[in-house]
Amino acid sequence: MKGRPGLTVLVIFAIGLAAGVAINAIFFSDPIIEKVSVETETEKSHERLFDDANVTAEDIELVQGKHGSMTWKLLAKSAKYDQERHLVGVERPQLTAYFGVDRQEVYVKSDRGEIDQGNDNLTLYDGVTGRFGDIALDAQHLDYVGAIGKVYLKGGVLLRHPDMTIKAVAVEIDLVTHKLVAAGGVEALLAPKGIEQNLLYEQ
């Protein structure tokens, strides 16, 4: 299993997906789906952040580390810093993160984002796209919470693996256990011979 991390992630994801669908069906609720409009709230927050910003910069790089090793770095076209709220608002962010003992790489980019580097939290939104090992992802909104090692994807989430594609309203990814749980209108297409070879696959 050590030589095939993609297969391990896929198996854990399938188990997490099944558990998420079962819980959703039993309790008729989606615990990781917020009832408020994600897009509206983040847009308002971003506008307020840029209005209150004290410092501006172009072409920046932010780096975060733990126990002597880098956990993530973020490049951005421009940034504004709000000293009162200790938040950095960024345009065109590109995030590269490393997790697990084997330092697997995650790459995500979006149109905008907000970083709370002191608490190791960040939010990316508007056109979120990226890659998590062998899984490509698309969403409207991504939250990374460093204290608990989790990523939350929300809004039209699409995950694509060579053998599977998943659509959902929200997905929770535990970076420690590699467990993924999907909720809200979950649709899954399994194709062991490859998604592109499946007649039901839509591009």
Residue 108 is part of which domain span?
Answer: 5-197
* Percent share of the chain, pLDDT over 90: 38
**Does 63 fall in a domain?**
yes
**Does 46 fall in a domain?**
yes
pLDDT(88) > 80: yes
pLDDT at 47: 58
pLDDT at 50: 59
**Does 202 fall in a domain?**
no
Give CA–CA dist 65/58, Å, rounded.
Answer: 22
Structure token digits, residue 144: 């990374």
| 100-117: average pLDDT | 88
DSSP 8-state symbol, 197: G
Q: What is the CATH classification number for the domain harbouring 27? A: 2.60.450.10
Give how many domains the chain has, as a whole number: 1
pTM recorded for the entire structure:
0.69
81, 87, 92, 98 alpha-carbon torsion, rounded to 10°:
130
pLDDT(109) > 60: yes
Give CA–CA dist 10/5, Å, rounded.
Answer: 9
**Does 173 fall in a domain?**
yes
